[in-house]
Amino acid sequence: MAKRDYYEILGISKTADDKEIKQAFRKLAKQYHPDLNPDNKDAEAKFKEVNEAYEVLSDADKKAKYDQFGHAAFDQNQGFGGGAGYGDFNDIFGDIFGDFFGGGSGFGGARAQRTGPKAGSDLKIKLDITFEEAAFGTKKDIKISRIEKCTTCDGTGAKKGTNKKTCPTCSGAGSVKTVQRTPFGQFASTKTCSTCNGTGEVVEEPCTACNGSGKEKKSRKLSINIPAGVDTGSVIPLRGEGNHGERGGPAGDLYVYLNVKEHELFERDGNDVWCEIPITFTKAVIGGNIEVPTIEGKVKYDIPEGTQTGTVFRLKNKGIKNLRGSGKGDQYVRVKVTVPKKLTDKQKSLLQQFAVEMGEKDEKNDGDKKGFFGKVKDAFKE
């Protein structure tokens, strides 16, 4: 059977560069690898085919010969006709087996890597603030508890006056290697050394303050500036104020989640403020000046005569500052007309006179003209 074109096998064009060739190979090698396709002869054959194509096209000299003479260039001197050759693919299969097994692996050997600096984890706290503090901004002191470098051993974990030693298990490499022989060659896999946890060093005499961990938990007091206009759900990041890193790694961040307490008078809608104000029956009828509370203090406002319950007035620029820009919101005032529940005889008499002046009639003595409640009664008769 005629051998397939190597470019066709990898699904690339003849103008593909080294990066494209490598990417195509890695994708197909993962797809057809025998460990992911047990007892699949077709996948095994394709895996060999892909490997053969890559070994030629990834080598500049071999690729040039193949481009000029095709498969004939290797029939005599490479022996590719009967099976795939396996070269040193640590750079490729180290990534592939890292995906499979969580460690660097490859054909013919493995590269041991010590664990490097590790960044500290982030912290999150919740902070309650008042409505006014959210509206105008404020400065707050907060307390946190975080992991820091042990001050006694300066983070080494070793007793003062002593040093760390090279790990005897991995000889300072930070990882250990195991080798397995398979029909496709020799596979070497690496795992983090369990003795030193990948650091390559061990502590013979642990620090008594941190028991050899090199870390300790401390409480810290921090000041935080809260800008005007924040709301519930706003997050303020404090860079580098989280848990400290390991082996020289950077500290994590602290995220402060704000919660704004409810106000007894005001409600917030974006940057606008709402409030409800009761007004007397008399004030609603004849109008006049009323006193309105705002987040900045009390202001005077003239309401027109005949104001009804539910009427909303707007106080421009009396709302909350825009957190991400200039300008402010408005305040909206909803009025509620209050009706007195207890009246003196004189008050009742005055209201009756007022009703007569307004042309109101007694519904019971309205002649042939049915009043409102009479019409309602008729409407719901069976």
Q: How far apart are CA 334 and CA 332, in angstroms?
A: 7
What lies within 8 Å, CB to CB, of 264 at 6+ separation is: none
155: left (phi over 0), alpha (psi -120 to 50) or beta: left
Q: How far apart are CA 207 and CA 105, in angstroms?
A: 36
275 is an annotated ligand-binding site residue: no
User: Which of 114, 125, 115 is CA-nearest to residue 243?
Assistant: 125
Q: Looking at the chain, list the stretches that DSSP marks H as alpha helix, in order from N- to C-terminal side.
A: 6-10, 18-32, 41-57, 60-69, 90-101, 131-136, 281-286, 345-357, 372-379
Geometric angle at alpha carbon 236, from 231 and 237, rounded to 5°: 165
Tell me, what amino acid is at 110? A
Identify whether the C-beta of residue 320 lies closer than 8 Å to the C-beta of residue 229.
yes
| Strand ranges inside the chain, DSSP E | 105-107, 123-129, 138-149, 165-166, 175-182, 185-192, 201-202, 215-226, 235-238, 254-260, 267-269, 272-280, 288-294, 297-303, 312-315, 331-338
Q: What is the full DSSP assignment across 130-144?
A: -HHHHHH-EEEEEEE
167 is an annotated ligand-binding site residue: yes
What lies within 8 Å, CB to CB, of 334 at 6+ separation is: 274, 275, 276, 277, 310, 311, 312
Query: Which residues belong to the annotated binding site?
Result: 150, 153, 167, 170, 193, 196, 207, 210
Which residues are part of a known binding site for Zn(2+)?
Answer: 150, 153, 167, 170, 193, 196, 207, 210
